[in-house]
Amino acid sequence: MQQLSHVIGDEKILSRLLRWAQTFNHCCYLTANNQAKTYNIEYEQLLALGSKKTFHSLSPFSDHLKNTKNWHFTFLNYNLKEEIHLRDDKKTNVSLPNFFAFESEYLFVLEKGKVYSNTELSIIDDRLTTFENSNFKEPTHCSKTPLTSTISKKEYAWAFNKIQQHIQLGDIYEINYCQTFSSKKEINPISTFIQLNEKSKAPFSSFLKIEGQYILSFSPERFLQKKGKSIISQPIKGTRPRGKTKEEDLLMINDLKSSQKDRSENIMIVDLVRNDLSIIAEPTTVNVDELMAIKSFEGVHQMISTISCKIDDKISFEDIIKATFPMGSMTGAPKRKAMQLINKYESEPRNGFSGSIGYINPAGDFDFNVLIRSIIYNANYKQVKVPVGGAITIRSEMEDEYQECLDKIAIIKSALNNK
């Protein structure tokens, strides 16, 4: 394994490494939660601590990738659309950068029960021992962190009706409309992530720290994966809660499978992704590999499609991102008009939500998630934000869409309230 020739232990060391991670200004943890094979994920778990180099702009970073063979852990803020598509003047005190990438000081890959590192065991053991013998004080965690939406249900209904008017006028076909739940409380980011990750077990979960700001994501959705010349995207559209019994669970799956509203949502976004990929794809290589497959997660059932293409070696990372970001599943169709209406009707900026976290390996291959089911935490302001949304089409019913938001956020709300 290139640059990771040192075996430093087994999975028992992970909890020690994650506690140590809190002392670094930058760190990133990606885990497939034992579903790497199911979702064709290259690495079961990756952990990057510390930064040798940092990057804050897409263009110079893309040029840098052409001349390096190092690992990079990368964050794409939804607000990166300002540099690619259009500007959103809304302000928030959760001010994550539009783009951030770093080369890590320490890198760990956890596979098949073993932990590989770019650093020798003796050095890691010494650093961990020094940390564990220090007087490091972990962040406290409030016993209860109740989340309250920044808009009322009445305000949600008003925006919903306005959006459906735009659909009736033909301005858009579909839009992903979000609301934000928030709390002014202190949390322990690492312990909160570990607790929620054990409950959600999502295949694209991630933990990111950039200075005093954190993203804790329990995402079931892949944005983009590149392996060699192949790229795949796997948008999610269509959600049902898990049933309390096997029989109820099966009813939920069958209801999702047969829903014309959810099927039309999914197909519209598949067409959008096909169009995005065609900008960078070699001719005739865009293909829908799987359409409207039902996948079950701890809290919900989801309808997922897979779209792929082949790209030329000359296509850069920047070319790929500019053609595809932000992901269509989190905007709507047509994408540009949907983003304009998102700016108009959502109560505050999404910031990291609807963005992406992932890695780029030395071969130039990468895997990025979609930042949904996520907590955005600013330790400086002691502020917790949990945005959540869903697709609105002409067939959508307001009560159903509002309830879908509550279903998606249920596990996070429960954990933050220690239930």
> Could you read off the pLDDT of 250-266 as tens digits, one per residue?
999 999 999 998 999 89
Domains contained in the chain, number:
1
* Catalytic-role residue among 103, 221, 346, 404: 221
Asked whether residue 235 is assigned to any structural domain, the reply reads: yes
- 91: pLDDT confidence band, cut at 50, 70 and 90? low
Q: What is the pLDDT of residue 46?
A: 97
Count helices and strands in the chain by DSSP H and E runs: 11, 20
Q: What is the pLDDT of residue 203?
A: 95
Q: Contact, 383 vs 184, CB < 8 A?
A: yes
Q: What is the pLDDT of residue 235?
A: 95
With a cut of 80, say whether residue 1 has pLDDT above it: no
Give first-to-last CA distance, the chain, whole Å: 42
CATH number at residue 225: 3.60.120.10
Nearest to 190 by CA among 23, 34, 353: 23
Question: Measured between alpha carbons, how far is 355 from 330 in angstroms, rounded to an integer?
Answer: 9
With a cut of 60, say whether residue 202 has pLDDT above it: yes
Let me know if 237 is a catalytic residue.
yes
Nearest to 202 by CA among 304, 110, 299: 299
Q: What is the pLDDT of residue 126?
A: 94
Q: What is the pLDDT of residue 417?
A: 78
The mean predicted confidence, pLDDT, of the chain is: 92
Asked whether residue 200 is assigned to any structural domain, the reply reads: yes
Asked whether residue 1 is assigned to any structural domain, the reply reads: no
Cite the DSSP H helix spans in 24-120.
58-65, 81-84
Length of the chain (residues):
419
Cite the DSSP H helix spans in 34-175.
58-65, 81-84, 121-132, 153-168
Bridge partner list, 366: 226, 360
Let me know if 221 is a catalytic residue.
yes
What does the angle CA 222 – CA 228 – CA 231 come to, to the nearest 5 degrees? Answer: 35
Task: Kindly report, residue by residue over 282-296, the tens digit of the pLDDT.
Answer: 999 999 999 999 999
Question: Measured between alpha carbons, how far is 156 from 139 in angstroms, rounded to an integer?
Answer: 34
Q: What is the pLDDT of residue 351?
A: 87
Rounded average pLDDT over 322-342? 95
Q: What is Dmax (Cα atoms) for the chain?
A: 66
Question: Measured between alpha carbons, how far is 417 from 112 in angstroms, rounded to an integer?
Answer: 34
Rounded average pLDDT over 112-135? 91
Residue 119, C-beta contacts closer than 8 angstroms, at least 6 positions apart: 6, 8, 106, 107
The rounded percent of the chain whose pLDDT value lies above 70 is 96
Rounded average pLDDT over 13-24? 93
Task: Kindly report, residue by residue over 337-395, the tens digit of the pLDDT.
Answer: 999 999 999 998 898 999 999 999 999 999 999 999 999 999 999 999 999 999 999 99
Question: Measured between alpha carbons, how far is 6 from 108 in angstroms, rounded to an integer?
Answer: 9
Burial bucket for residue 42 (CB in 10 Å: 0-12, 13-18, 19+):
middle
Q: What is the pLDDT of residue 411?
A: 87
Whether the full predicted model's pTM is greater than 0.75, yes or no, is: yes
With a cut of 70, say whether residue 88 has pLDDT above it: no
- 3: pLDDT confidence band, cut at 50, 70 and 90? low
Rounded average pLDDT over 310-333? 96
Rounded average pLDDT over 161-168? 98
Phi-psi region at 206: left, alpha or beta (left = phi > 0; alpha = psi -120 to 50): beta
Residue 213, C-beta contacts closer than 8 angstroms, at least 6 positions apart: 94, 95, 96, 376, 377, 378, 379, 380
Question: Measured between alpha carbons, how far is 329 from 354 in angstroms, rounded to an integer?
Answer: 9
**275 is in which domain, residue-wise?**
6-416
Asked whether residue 93 is assigned to any structural domain, the reply reads: yes
* Catalytic-role residue among 237, 322, 335, 385: 237
